[in-house]
Chains A and B, each alone.
Chain A
C-alpha cells in the first residue's frame, strides 16, 4: 500500500523523477483537455454529417459516405495513430516550424477517429426516431430538412448528448494515438503546438519501469484516476440514455 507521503508525491502537477516528484495531475488535466476538444471537434463534424445524411433527400453521395464511415469504424486505432505520426505530424511541422508532435496533431487525429464511432451510434438513434415520426412529419408538410432539424433532432437531443459523453470516454481512454503522436513530454499542455503526455500514454510508458519503484506505482494511480473519470462520465451518460431510451432501438 502507498503511504500518505507518496500520495502527495503523486497528486501534484510536477513530474520529475530525479527530484522524487511523481505528480500525475498535469497528465490528468491534459487527458481532460484533449478528450474535451477532440469530442467537441468530432461532434461538430457529426452534426454536419448528420444533417447531410438525414436532413437531405437521398443522393449519390449518401451511399459512398456511409460506406466510408463504416470502413473507418473498422480501422484499428493504431492505424490512425501511425497515419497521424507519418502524415499529420510532418504537416504541422511544415506549417509551424514546431516538431509537429503536439496537442493539435493528437486532437485532430483523435477527432477523425471519433467521427465514425459517433456517426454509427447516431445512425441508430436517428433512424429509430425517423421510424416513429417520419410519416407524421411529412403528412404535416415538413421537408426532409425540416423534419430532421425540427422533429427528429429535438426528439433525440438527450440521446445525442449521451452519445457525445460516450465519445468523450472513448477519447479519454485512447492510448495509441496519444502515445505515438503527442511527444509524451511530461508537462501540462501549454498550447496547441506543445508536446504533452496524457494518463493513458503515461500508463503505457511506465509499464516497463522497475516494478518496485514509485514511477511504476504512478501508473496505478493514473489508472485509478482514469477509471474515476470514465465511471463518472459513463454514469451521467447512462442516466441520459435511460431517460431517452425509447429512441435507442
Chain B
C-alpha cells in the first residue's frame, strides 16, 4: 500500500501547479454576479486561471448591475460586475469599493439585411425620440429597441446619445444583451445597441458619423460611444477575492481584454 501511494506521489507533477498559479491564494470559490457585458471576458479568464490553479473555481451569474450590487452588499457574492459607477448610497450602505476594469464600446446594431451602415449621433437622437420612430434616410417606420432601466448600457445610451431627450413612447425594452440581439437579428426594421463583446454576424454594426466601431478607432479615441466597466468588492474583501481583483486589473488580463473587444480602462 505504501509503495502504491509512493508511486502515485511520484507520478504527480511535483510543484508545477502551485508554481504557475499567479494567485497567492490558489484555491477556493469566487462568486460573481451583475452586469452581463463582463461575462464573456471573466468566463474565459476563469477557464485560463483554472488550468493553472486547479483548486480555484469561478461561479458566474448575470442579473444586471443592480442585482450584482445587492448580492455583494448582502455578502452573497464576492465580486459584483457593473456597467455603471456605483451610486453614493450603494457605496456607503453596502460598504463597497469599485475598480475600473475595462473600456467598452456601445455599438448601434441593425438587421444584417438593412441597407443603412452609418448614422450620426443627432440622427440617432431624433430617431429614438420621434413619435413614431422613423429612419433618417426615408420615411419607413422603425422598431427601436433599448435596454431596461436597470441596465448600465442604457444609462450610457441616455447620456451619450439622448442627452436629455426622452425616449419614444413606442420603444421596446429588452432585459439583456441576449434578448436585444435576438430581437434585432430577427426584425429587418429594428435598431438597437449592444456591448461590443456581443456583436457578431447575426447583427450589423453601424458606424457613427463615419467612425466604425473598430479597435483602432476606439484606441484613438475617435469612436464616440464608450463606457467603463467596473468590478466591485466589499471594503475588506476575502483574501481570494482580493487576489482575483488584483489579477483582473493586472497585465495578464490585457490580452484577453483585447480579444473581447475591450480597451484598458481610462486612467484616473
Residues of A at under 8 Å CB distance from B? Answer: 16-18, 85, 89-90, 93, 97-101, 179-180, 183-187, 194-195, 197, 204-213, 215-216
Q: Which residues of B contact A210 (CB under 8 A)?
A: 66, 69, 87, 89-90
Residues of B at under 8 Å CB distance from A? Answer: 63-70, 73, 87, 89-90, 93, 141, 143, 148-151, 158, 166, 169-175, 179, 182-183, 186-187, 189-190
Report whether B67 and A205 are in contact in the complex, using a CB–CB cutoff of 8 Å.
no
Question: Given A101, A205, A208, A215, which contacts B183 in the complex, CB threshold below 8 Å?
Answer: A101
Minimum CB–CB distance from A219 to chain B (whole Å) comes to: 10
Question: Given B66, B87, B172, which contacts A195 in the complex, CB threshold below 8 Å?
Answer: B172
Question: Considering only CB atoms, which chain B residue lies closest to A184 in the complex?
Answer: B173
Report whether A208 and B172 are in contact in the complex, using a CB–CB cutoff of 8 Å.
no
A-B contact pairs, 20 of them (CB 8 A): A90-B186, A99-B172, A101-B183, A179-B175, A184-B172, A185-B169, A185-B171, A194-B170, A204-B175, A205-B149, A205-B150, A207-B67, A208-B66, A208-B67, A208-B150, A209-B66, A209-B150, A211-B66, A211-B70, A213-B87
Report whether A195 and B149 are in contact in the complex, using a CB–CB cutoff of 8 Å.
no
Q: Take A195-B172, A208-B150, A209-B66 as given contacts and tell me if A85 and B182 are in contact as well, using a CB distance cutoff of 8 Å.
A: yes
Q: Which residues of A contact B187 (CB under 8 A)?
A: 90, 93, 99-100
Q: Which residues of B contact A186 (CB under 8 A)?
A: 173
Question: Considering only CB atoms, which chain B residue lies closest to A15 in the complex?
Answer: B149
Q: In the assembly, what is the distance between CA of A194 and CA of B171, in Å?
A: 10
Question: Given B66, B73, B141, B186, which contacts A216 in the complex, CB threshold below 8 Å?
Answer: B66
Q: In the assembly, what is the distance between CA of A88 and CA of B120, in Å?
A: 34
Minimum CB–CB distance from A48 to chain B (whole Å) comes to: 33
Minimum CB–CB distance from A105 to chain B (whole Å) comes to: 12
Report whether B67 and A99 are in contact in the complex, using a CB–CB cutoff of 8 Å.
no
Which 8 residue pairs are nearest across A and B when measured between Cβ atoms?
A208-B64, A184-B173, A99-B143, A208-B150, A183-B172, A212-B89, A208-B66, A208-B67
Q: Which residues of A contact B174 (CB under 8 A)?
A: 184
